[in-house]
């Protein structure tokens, strides 16, 4: 499959820089193709939401996953928490306090290959001034020049003081929030013969 | 279920115990969830509001099921005849009110369920049994269905008041047994009350 698709290019690359032939690095983040959504449970009712604005810096070479770098910045004010009431509420101090903490940030610290295009991504997540270690499985789907990193994880809102005061009780809004992400990055045009 | 009838005539003139039980159970549930609905809708968002919404929705599903049960019972058990001297227009009015009340008792929870789906909040009965969402999330449709839900409710409230007024009129002015035969604690068919 790979050979059939990339046959001629591969042969050409081989002639010029043989060791770097595999070195395709996905590092051009594609905001329009990426998505960041979540499902919270309110009185055991799943309620879907999403963030519309976020940026990522990705540098991922499938041949060298351990050297991958990834950062994600989320504009918390871009939340759609399911209704206008909810959007107004979660911007407030009890939740994200977006005035003081407008951005949530994730910085990857390690990437471990798990085989068959699956990886374990570990990093530091900072929301509302609280930083927590976070680990999530990621599935890579590569289509030619484009790679999509997909995964889902459970985030505990209390770890980041999301929902303080009257919201602190998990009886109404559950502590566990299911987060789903899809980050798409393409390889830069001149990816093959770059550095290292 | 109910106390022993004093005569067979008294027995046949009353609704069955099941019909009486369902009538009052549903009546209390409707008044309760109607009041909760009126109260909760303008509350600022809070855990209490989310709880009230859930309880209101659970009550709606429960009422719907009891109304279905009641319809089956009603169709399989003839209710007692209306009083002999009742004018034709009153019989027709009573008939129409009852048909409308049955329709609304089903339409009100149905509209609430559809509205919830359109607003993107699934109904999970008692937090356990998720009802399917027949509609996709759609803000405009959700707002429209909220209007429909409200209008149906106010329509039902008006009919309930008419229903209650008619029952009291039968009891205190006509002095017949129309109210008594739907009351669990009045076995006699005469209109006198202590």
In angstroms, the CA A135 to CA A66 distance is 15
Residues 40 through 79 of chain A touching chain B, CB cutoff 8 Å: 42-48
Q: How many CB pairs under 8 A join A and B?
A: 40
Q: Provide the total of helices (H) and of strands (E) in chain A, helices listed first.
A: 2, 11
Name the residue in chain B with its Cα closest to that of A82.
Answer: B120
Q: Which of B45, B46, B121 sits opposite A45 (nearest CB)?
A: B121
pLDDT bucket at A24, cuts 50 / 70 / 90: confident
Q: What is the pLDDT of residue A23?
A: 72
> What domains, with CATH codes, occur in chain B?
8-182 (1.20.950)
How far off is chain A from B119, nearest CA to CA, in Å?
A: 8
How far off is chain A from B132, nearest CA to CA, in Å?
A: 12
Hey, are the CB atoms on A47 and B121 less than 8 Å from each other?
yes
Task: Please list every residue in chain A whose beta carbon sits closer than 8 Å to the beta carbon of residue B46.
Answer: 166
Q: What is the pLDDT of residue A5?
A: 46
More confident residue, A23 or B173: B173
Instruction: Choose among A95, A119, A124, A125: nearest CA to A109.
Output: A124
More confident residue, B27 or A9: B27
Task: Please list every residue in chain B whose beta carbon sits closer than 8 Å to the beta carbon of residue A86.
Answer: 45
Name the residue in chain A with its Cα closest to that of B41.
Answer: A85
Q: What is the mean pLDDT of residues A21-43?
A: 89
Hey, are the CB atoms on A173 and B47 less than 8 Å from each other?
yes
C-alpha distances out from residue A155 to A55, A132, A175, Å: 20, 10, 8
> What domains, with CATH codes, occur in chain A?
25-187 (2.40.128.110)
* Number of other residues whose CB lies within 10 A of the CB of residue B114: 19
Half-sphere exposure of B106 (CA within 13 A, CB side): 10
C-alpha distances out from residue B32 to B27, B35, B50, Å: 8, 5, 17
**Each residue's pLDDT tens digit in chain B (194 positions)?**
444 444 444 445 788 899 999 999 999 999 999 999 999 999 999 999 999 999 999 999 999 999 999 999 999 998 888 888 899 999 999 999 999 999 999 999 999 999 999 999 999 999 999 999 999 999 999 999 999 999 999 999 999 999 999 999 999 999 888 898 998 876 544 444 43
Q: Is A1 an 8 Å CB contact of chain B?
A: no
User: CA geometry: angle at A181 spanning A177 and A182, to 5°?
Assistant: 165
In angstroms, the CA A104 to CA A55 distance is 11
User: CA geometry: angle at B192 spanning B190 and B194, to 5°?
Assistant: 135
In this structure, of A15-29, A117-131, A145-159, B160-174, the range with the lowest mean pLDDT score is A15-29
Global pTM reads 0.81
Q: Which of B46, B121, B123 sits opposite A166 (nearest CB)?
A: B46
Q: What is the pLDDT of residue B1?
A: 42
Asked if the model's pLDDT at residue A14 lies above 70, the reply is no
Q: What is the pLDDT of residue B186?
A: 65
pLDDT above 70: percentage of residues in chain A: 85
Residues across chain A: 196
In angstroms, the CA A42 to CA A37 distance is 16
Name the residue in chain B with its Cα closest to that of A85.
Answer: B45
SS3 B107: helix
Q: What is the pLDDT of residue B119?
A: 94
On the 0-12 / 13-18 / 19+ scale of CB atoms within 10 A, A7 is exposed
Q: What is the pLDDT of residue A16?
A: 43
Mean of the per-residue pLDDT values of chain A: 87
Hey, are the CB atoms on B45 and A169 less than 8 Å from each other?
no
- Residue A163 main-chain phi, psi, to 5 deg: 90, 75
In angstroms, the CA A177 to CA A46 distance is 10
Name the residue in chain B with its Cα closest to that of A166.
Answer: B47
pLDDT digits (tens, 9 = 90+) for B81-102: 888 889 999 999 999 999 999 9
Q: Provide the total of helices (H) and of strands (E) in chain B, helices listed first.
A: 5, 2
Asked if the model's pLDDT at residue A191 lies above 70, the reply is no
């Amino acid at each position: 499959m790979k050979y059939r698709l990339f046959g001629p290019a591969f042969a050409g690359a081989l002639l010029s820089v043989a060791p770097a032939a595999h070195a395709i690095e996905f590092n051009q983040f594609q905001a329009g193709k990426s998505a960041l959504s979540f499902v919270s449970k309110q009185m055991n009712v799943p309620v879907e939401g999403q963030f519309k604005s976020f940026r990522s810096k990705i540098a991922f070479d499938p041949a060298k996953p351990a050297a991958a770098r990834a950062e994600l910045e989320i504009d918390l004010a871009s939340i759609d928490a399911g209704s206008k009431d909810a959007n107004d509420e979660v911007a407030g101090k009890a939740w994200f306090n977006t005035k003081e903490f407008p951005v949530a940030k994730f910085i990857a610290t390690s990437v471990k290959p798990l085989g068959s295009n699956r990886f374990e991504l570990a990093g530091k997540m900072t929301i509302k001034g609280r930083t927590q270690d976070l680990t999530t499985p990621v599935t890579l789907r590569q289509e030619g020049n484009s790679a999509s990193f997909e995964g889902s994880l459970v985030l505990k809102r209390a770890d980041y003081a999301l929902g303080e005061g009257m919201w602190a009780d998990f009886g109404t809004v559950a502590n566990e929030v299911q987060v789903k992400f899809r980050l798409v990055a393409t390889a830069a045009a001149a990816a093959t013969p770059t550095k290292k | 279920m109910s106390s022993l009838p004093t005569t067979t005539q008294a027995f046949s003139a009353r609704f069955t115990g099941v019909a009486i039980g369902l009538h009052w159970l549903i009546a209390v549930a409707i008044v309760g969830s109607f009041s909760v609905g009126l109260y909760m809708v303008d509350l600022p968002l809070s855990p209490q509001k989310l709880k009230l919404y859930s309880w209101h929705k659970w009550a709606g599903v429960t009422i719907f099921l009891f109304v279905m049960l009641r319809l089956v019972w009603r169709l399989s058990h003839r209710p007692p005849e209306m009083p002999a001297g009742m004018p034709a227009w009153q019989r027709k009015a009573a008939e129409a009110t009852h048909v409308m009340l049955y329709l609304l008792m089903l339409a009100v929870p149905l509209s609430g369920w559809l509205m919830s789906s359109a607003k993107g909040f699934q109904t999970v009965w008692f937090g356990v049994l998720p009802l399917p969402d027949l509609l996709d999330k759609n803000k405009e449709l959700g707002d429209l269905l909220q209007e429909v839900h409200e209008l149906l409710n106010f329509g039902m409230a008006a009919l309930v008041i008419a229903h209650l007024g008619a029952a009291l009129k039968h009891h205190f002015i006509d002095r017949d047994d129309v109210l008594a035969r739907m009351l669990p604690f009045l076995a006699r068919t005469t209109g006198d009350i202590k």
